Chains A and B, each alone.
Chain A
Amino acid sequence: MPMSDESRVKQLLDRSFDALLPLLAVPLAFLIGAVILMVMDVDPIAAYGVLITGAFGDVSGITQTLVRTTPLLLVGLGIVIAFRGGVLNIGGEGQLVMGAIATTVLVLSLPTWPGWILMILAMLAGAAAGAFWGFIPGLLRARLGVSENLSTIMMNAIAAQFANFLLAGPLMDPLQRELGSFLPESARIPRSVWLYRPIPQSSLHIGFFIALIFAILVYIFLWRTSIGYRIRAVGLNPAASRYAGINVPYYEALALTLGGMFAGLAGSFEVLGVHHKLLEYLSSGYGFSGIVVALFGKLHPLGAIPASILFGGLLVGGDKMQRVVQVPSALITTISGLVVLFVVSSVIFTERRARRRKIHG
């Protein structure tokens, strides 16, 4: 149908408006955060100033931000895959922990192996453990129809308790026992398996760059391969997929498994690149923040990159804000939650607009 220039311009405006709308979610969330800050008798401009300069103001801030970005991006990628397959993975937290455990156990039990082989094996073990932790809810869903919303959450609790058990017993650093301090931490992993840090005096490790590569690979996987096509088809329309001969439960389970794999890899990187040991609270909520990242990135693997940098920055800046202006970093959690709320409502809003635009059909 030929279209007038006027309506084409209008269509373009409509489309760019739809694209920009989610971005409004961030300022809106900050605005409400400002109100909370004022109620707490804190100058919001000062607090936000600390937040932003803390996260992005200097090399140290930026590298710290990217360190936090890495697990967010990896978990986010896993959640993007799951979402695209029509399943909701709330188990990123547990999958990440399992990945960290597997990595630590492997590295500590093969101390004589050459570093780089061990490093790669450790990453694979972490990814495999996370994948396994995602596969179980996938299997339960495929075979018994158990909702993955519930099972993934419960798998989180199992993973957390398993980690606690290991850290209180078999995996606890012998040194802690000797000293009698009994801190729930594993022994340090050998230096030879630490992830390379390209910038001196910073904790930024190559895991970040690997995660970036994975974002591109996930994009290729989802949109340029037949397996990715199936996952997306199953997520968008299970009935039509079934008719097309696609084994729907299998691909739903696969989406959960792949999601777990990326979360497990994130756990592996936390051990190999950041903490160099297994410890309690290793995850600090990356498994859940990954959902926020995925949603804010519009469920697109490349969109997850800026989204994860933003939320990584919020974590780093929030810590700084807490130290400098004594604002509990829980406020950052609040702001993240508000961002999700606004992003999700913007999606509903654009869909309604689209429907209204179409209604004349």
Chain B
Amino acid sequence: MSKLLSNGQPQIGEVRAVGIVKRFPGVLANDHVDFDVKAGEIHALLGENGAGKSTLMRQLYGLYQPDEGKILIDGVEHRFHSPKDAIRAGIGMIHQHFMLVPELTVVENVALGLKSSRGFVLDLDVVEKRVCALAEQYGLKIDPKASVWQLAVGEQQRVEIIKALYRGAAVLILDEPTAVLTPQEVDDLFVTLRQMAAEGHALVFISHKLHEVLAISDRVTVLRDGRVVGKRPTQGATKEELAQMMVGRPVILQYDMPPLQCGDTLLKIEDLFVQGDRGVDAVAGLSLELHAGEILGLAGVSGNGQRELAQALTGLRPVRKGRVLLHDKDVTNASPSERMALGLSYIPEERMKEGAIRDFSVADNIILQDHHKPPYVRSIFFDFKAIKNDAKRLVEAFNVKTPTLDTPIKNLSGGNIQKLIMGRELWRRPSVLIAAQPTRGVDIGASEYIHQQLLGQRNGATTVESSVVQRRTPTQAGMEMREMLEGRREQCLATLLISEDLDEIRALSDRIAVIYEGKIVGIVDRNEATVEQLGLMMAGVRKEEALGLKKSGDHSEKEPS
């Protein structure tokens, strides 16, 4: 009998997947993949969206069955027909989207789906005792009696981890666990993960954030197009090396940021109040100025009013109080089309909800705003030739991969849909661009492309020479795009970049404004604040305190209750 872990489960020495092949119609999702994770280690699984990492892990967790290959646990072959089998074998998985019932307490969520030790009578007290014991052993601070909806995202994740441990997980698969966390929460999570590894658990850490992989893992396996393209100890690896493995070509991770040259205020927000869906002010007294040629990053933890702000700025949500000035014109209550006419463009957070129509074709989505204008329409009849013509140019210029222009966009990948939306918005030659979470759910290759496009809109930026463009043959469309971007440089586009990804904000922004509970906590210059300091501001700590300009002992008062 092997060693027992702190959750009372026997340790699993090694989980090994050998020659896994998984086919879906038209796609080879896993092509003879070998993967293994050992007790006591954190093994990072790195790859772009669609590289096959989730597919692989879903087979380890019993959600899919491999077409070929086998799964060995300590040398014994296992076949999982459902997650139940995998859980019974000691494998747990933390999904990116939590599987918790918000109305129930922590203990009730853990107990959900388990057999009570007392038959028909609930044994919540027994569960609670074990939850507390587990929380103690693994250093997972949690109030077992709190309802899940009251918990912060990081705490909810802890509940998920406890749930998995409670069910006897010796091996834990974490699918993009840091995507929703603040920097501080990420640090806490990493402490927990290291402790679990030290305990003798085996951990799989799925991510596409390179610095996190470098920070937390012992070994890293890189997948690309369903194949293992790299496998090495993390020690000594560099970001550039891993990124190149992942994408298959050199990737630009650092961008040159030439200084600003034009500076007129294009967008002015004055003491803005916007109600959220629940009738409470989600944006509460926010003021901000956006200058020509700059990228202003709006950092913040999800749900602090970013979505409502973006919608209010684009005319999709009424403003309760305050003013919005676009080119010195009051557009507080203007319709979306009036704002568009003044040069506003918008890359919405929920691209499938606000930015595009999933059942419409690529061409139909490209003309979404301009479908009633010539040359697309004559009197009321469409000129399909003109539409196709422009759609083709845009698709080529922005490198959107689609089988045809008539393909419904629901069949495109997230990255390609985002490139399409961005292309459409930039094609309109805006003077002010609101970009909300432009790279969320988009793989690193497409992210890089989107970042370069955003930077290319700034004055003097030289990133038009992106590797993507360079690799392509100089088609007419490519030339046209170059000319277009050259032209736009002179336009000095002002961009408000709203993102929960601090890396993205830091890589792209000239200035960074931090939003907390609907207000700007502070604005810092590009290199003025560290990640930790920004993290503190994202938790509501004022700029002066966060930057340590004023020593403070009342830090806790500013923390969210």
Footprint of B on A, CB under 8 Å? Answer: 1, 3-4, 7, 10-11, 14, 224-227, 229-230, 232-233, 236-237, 239-245, 357-361
Residues of B with C-beta under 8 A to A14:
25
Q: What's the nearest-Cβ distance from chain B to residue A194, in Å? A: 34
Q: Does B525 contact A (CB under 8 A)?
A: no
Residues of B with C-beta under 8 A to A236:
357-360
Q: Does B24 contact A (CB under 8 A)?
A: yes
A7-B25 in contact given A243-B314, A243-B346 (Cβ < 8 Å): yes
* B55-A237 in contact (CB<8A): no
- Which B residues, 29 to 51, have Cβ-Cβ distances below 8 Å to chain A? 29, 50
Q: Does B336 contact A (CB under 8 A)?
A: yes
Q: Does B530 contact A (CB under 8 A)?
A: no
Residues of B with C-beta under 8 A to A3:
26
User: CA A7 – CA B316 in complex, angstroms?
Assistant: 43
* B380-A226 in contact (CB<8A): yes
A239-B354 in contact given A226-B382, A245-B336 (Cβ < 8 Å): yes
* A240-B354 in contact (CB<8A): yes
Q: Does B337 contact A (CB under 8 A)?
A: yes
Of A10, A224, A240, A358, which contacts B368 at CB under 8 A? A240
Residues of A with C-beta under 8 A to B371:
226, 229-230, 244
* A11-B25 in contact (CB<8A): yes
* A243-B355 in contact (CB<8A): yes
User: CA A65 – CA B98 in complex, angstroms?
Assistant: 57
Q: What's the nearest-Cβ distance from chain B to residue A105, in Å? A: 33
User: CA A3 – CA B354 in complex, angstroms?
Assistant: 32
What total of chain B residues lie within 8 Å of the partner, measured CB to CB?
Answer: 37
CB<8 Å pairs between A and B, sample of 6: A1-B27, A230-B372, A244-B336, A358-B411, A360-B55, A361-B413
- List the 3 shortest-distance A-B pairs measured between CB atoms, nearest first: A245-B337, A360-B24, A7-B26
Of B354, B359, B364, which contacts A229 at CB under 8 A? B364
Q: Does B356 contact A (CB under 8 A)?
A: yes
Residues of A with C-beta under 8 A to B358:
236-237
Which DSSP category, helix, strand, loop or mixed, fits chain A's interface? Answer: helix
Instruction: For the A-B complex with A233-B368, A245-B340 known, give 18 more contacts whose Cβ atoms are closer than 8 Å.
Output: A11-B26, A14-B25, A224-B384, A225-B377, A225-B382, A236-B359, A236-B360, A237-B353, A237-B356, A239-B354, A243-B314, A244-B336, A244-B337, A245-B336, A357-B24, A359-B24, A360-B27, A360-B55
Q: What's the nearest-Cβ distance from chain A to residue B495, in Å? A: 18
Q: What's the nearest-Cβ distance from chain A to residue B254, in Å? A: 31
Residues of B with C-beta under 8 A to A4:
26
**Complex: chain A residue closest to B27, CB-CB:** A360
Of B24, B369, B380, B381, which contacts A244 at CB under 8 A? B369
Footprint of A on B, CB under 8 Å? Answer: 22, 24-27, 29, 50, 55, 314, 316, 335-337, 340, 346, 348, 353-360, 364, 368-369, 371-372, 376-377, 380-382, 384, 411, 413
Among A232, A243, A357, find the residue whose CB has the most chain B CB atoms closer than 10 A: A243
Q: What's the nearest-Cβ distance from chain A to residue B208, in Å? A: 16
Of B25, B314, B360, B377, which contacts A233 at CB under 8 A? B360
User: CA A241 – CA B358 in complex, angstroms?
Assistant: 12
* B24-A245 in contact (CB<8A): no
**Complex: chain B residue closest to A14, CB-CB:** B25
Q: What's the nearest-Cβ distance from chain B to residue A128, in Å? A: 21
Residues of A with C-beta under 8 A to B340:
245
Q: What's the nearest-Cβ distance from chain B to residue A198, in Å? A: 32
User: CA A348 – CA B314 in complex, angstroms?
Assistant: 35
User: CA A16 – CA B372 in complex, angstroms?
Assistant: 35
Among A3, A242, A358, find the residue whose CB has the most chain B CB atoms closer than 10 A: A242
Q: What's the nearest-Cβ distance from chain A to residue B241, in Å? A: 27
A360-B29 in contact given A226-B382, A243-B354, A244-B368 (Cβ < 8 Å): yes
User: CA A243 – CA B352 in complex, angstroms?
Assistant: 12
Residues of A with C-beta under 8 A to B381:
224-226
Residues of B with C-beta under 8 A to A244:
336-337, 368-369, 371
Residues of B with C-beta under 8 A to A359:
24
Residues of B with C-beta under 8 A to A229:
364, 371, 382
Residues of A with C-beta under 8 A to B356:
237, 240
Among A7, A225, A229, A245, find the residue whose CB has the most chain B CB atoms closer than 10 A: A245
User: CA A87 – CA B359 in complex, angstroms?
Assistant: 17
User: CA A233 – CA B336 in complex, angstroms?
Assistant: 16
User: CA A233 – CA B376 in complex, angstroms?
Assistant: 16
* B357-A237 in contact (CB<8A): yes
Q: What's the nearest-Cβ distance from chain B to residue A352, in Å? A: 15
Residues of A with C-beta under 8 A to B376:
226
Q: What's the nearest-Cβ distance from chain A to residue B313, in Å? A: 12
User: CA A224 – CA B377 in complex, angstroms?
Assistant: 9
**Complex: chain B residue closest to A223, CB-CB:** B382
* A240-B380 in contact (CB<8A): no
User: CA A226 – CA B381 in complex, angstroms?
Assistant: 6
Residues of B with C-beta under 8 A to A245:
335-337, 340, 369
Residues of A with C-beta under 8 A to B337:
244-245
**Complex: chain A residue closest to B339, CB-CB:** A245
Of A1, A226, A230, A241, which contacts B26 at CB under 8 A? A1
Residues of B with C-beta under 8 A to A225:
377, 380-382
Of B24, B29, B348, B372, which contacts A243 at CB under 8 A? B348
